[in-house]
Amino acid sequence: MKTFPINKHSGFTLISLLIASALGIFIMAAAGQVYINSQAAYSLRNSVSAVSENGRYALDDIRRTLVMTGRDISAAQSAFAPIDSSGISDAGNSSSASDIIAVRYAAGSSCAGNVSGFSTIRIKVVDSVLICQLNGTNVPLVSGVHLMRVLYGVMDTPLTNSSANRYITAQAVDDAGAWRDVVAMRVGLIVSSDNETLPVHMRNANVETIDLLGMNFTPPDTERLFRAVTTTVVLRNLNPIVSKQ
């Protein structure tokens, strides 16, 4: 008589299925958290990078233009435009309006193109975009620029000194009749990360004011990263000692 082996069927118990399900949920939750943290870090890195690049590009463009101020213009000629709608504009203590820079030179490059002949170059902020204007033609430079503040370095003793003793507003320079004594310009900008937003859990609960060369700026939102950047440019092409003689 032939005998056949009895097959024993094996399977998963309810407890093993529950343990496997719990482990799967734990792994998925951990992987999801890693993904969320990675996305947050990516967004934060993009915001920091955007605000740094905006500030660097804007200041570089401004610096390259301002350093040319007065080139090929004699000491008897004014290197600055008057404070009016076609020249320099001083926003005063307003935290929502930007100053406007206006410089003149007769040869070289500018943020809006090459200069040939006596020209006026104006730098201003319009609708959160830094604009460079050459003889009336506007050229957009950098977006994400919300405010520009400008102070002018004045020599108090121009016959014996060649560096700025103090930095004052354009209106203060005009009131003192001291444009011939301006030897440097200090420019400050409020820049943002523009279209790059911060992760929700990294945003401040309240809007914090930012100091920009003595002016308080209140950011319009907490979704983006805002930062103040400044530079000081020596007006190397001016010779105020000669012009005072």
Strand partners, 100: 89
Q: pLDDT by residue (tens digit) across 61-80?
A: 999 999 998 888 776 665 55
158 or 29: which leads in pLDDT:
29
Give the highest mean pLDDT range of 6-10, 187-191, 200-204. Answer: 187-191
Measured distance CA(40)–CA(43) in Å, rounded: 5
Rounded mean pLDDT, 201-224: 88
Cα four-point dihedral sign 84, 170, 210, 163: positive
Structure tokens at 59: 């200041």
Query: Which of 155, 167, 173 shows the shortest CA–CA distance to 243?
Result: 155
Checking if the pLDDT of 4 tops 90, the result is no
Percentage with pLDDT > 90 across the chain:
34
Structure tokens at 191: 């820049």
- Which pLDDT band holds residue 241 (cuts at 50, 70, 90)? very low
Kindly give, in sequence order, each residue whose CB lies less than 8 Å from that of residue 172, ignoring residues fewer than 6 positions away. none
Percentage with pLDDT > 70 across the chain:
77
How much is the mean pLDDT over the chain?
Answer: 81
Where do the structural domains in the chain lie, given as residue ranges?
Answer: 38-244
Torsion of CA 64, 210, 227, 147, to 10 degrees: -50
Beta strands in 25-128 (DSSP E): 101-110, 113-126
Instruction: Find the range with the poorest average confidence among 108-112, 179-183, 209-213.
Output: 179-183
Q: pLDDT by residue (tens digit) across 125-135?
A: 999 999 999 98
